[in-house]
Amino acid sequence: MLEKELMLDIQKIRKDFPILNREVNGKPLIYFDNAATSQTPQQVIDCIVDYYSRYNANIHRGVHTLSQEATDAYEEARIKIQQHFNAAKPYEMILTSGTTDSINLVANGFASLLKEGDEIIVSALEHHSNIVPWQMLCEHTGAVLKVIPMFESGQLDMETYVSLLNENTKLVFCNHVSNALGVINPIEFIIEKAHEVNAAVLIDGAQASPHIKADVQALDVDFYVASAHKICGPTGVGLCMERKLAQ
């Protein structure tokens, strides 16, 4: 019934995921933890095996055939991701080891740009990995961390957010979709208001990327980050879309 309503051929989709042939506790595996880590389809597994079986080599370094092929494959992947998120240039798409790594990359980049009295705004709805780097950055630079509060409904309080913004605000961080509640945050509004005071915005797209195709140019976002292991990709790969600073 559900399958019919959703117009999804669930048996066909399950066939793409070899792990679902497993039994756990004597029962066929039904996996509900995709928001934390999605399972890996055979197509992705084949691609990884093909890489290690045929052209595994150091990218951007060697002049030999394998290195050239590995570099080409790496750059093709970068272009695919660039096109998916509609980034203007391939070099705006930085491959990292995951969302946490991407956030730390941006936070460390800002360490030398911030000074005492500067302000960073985060939402009350953040994943742990999107809070700790900013706390450390503030400790290191003397910047002040401010928090957008949340209503009981799980919606962020946008009126308070606007009142927190001022000429000292240098960075705003918010997730696109909350990992805790599934709330879709009004990131267009958050970005627009931050830019009015010339603050940069980092959007954590780890939970949004499996469901929402973000257009980073239309959003006019400065940084957009995500993890491959939540979008049926391999573990240990992430992305950091970095727009304004690359221009």
Ligand X SMILES: *Cc1c(COP(=O)(O)O)cnc(C)c1O
Positions in the binding site for ligand X (CB under 6 A): 98-100, 127, 129-130, 175, 179, 204, 206-207, 227, 229, 238
d(CA 200, CA 73): 32
d(CA 60, CA 74): 9
Closest to ligand X by CB, 70 vs 129, is 129
Min CB(189)–ligand X separation in Å: 19
Closest to ligand X by CB, 58 vs 235, is 235
Q: Which H or E run includes 10?
A: helix 10-15
Min CB(212)–ligand X separation in Å: 13
Min CB(187)–ligand X separation in Å: 13
Min CB(99)–ligand X separation in Å: 3
Q: Where are the alpha helices (DSSP H) in 85-197?
A: 99-111, 132-141, 158-164, 187-196
Closest to ligand X by CB, 169 vs 207, is 207
DSSP lists the bridge partners of residue 96 as: 238
224 and 195 in contact (C-beta within 8 Å)? no
Closest to ligand X by CB, 70 vs 121, is 121
Closest to ligand X by CB, 141 vs 227, is 227
CB atoms within 10 A of CB 91: 11
3-state secondary structure 164-189: HCCCCEEEEEEECECCCCCCECCHHH
Give the pair of three-digit tokens for residue 36.
Answer: 């934390």
DSSP lists the bridge partners of residue 122 as: 147, 173
8-state DSSP, 64: S
Closest to ligand X by CB, 204 vs 242, is 204
Min CB(203)–ligand X separation in Å: 10
Min CB(130)–ligand X separation in Å: 5
What phi, psi does 162 have (nearest 5°)?
-60, -35
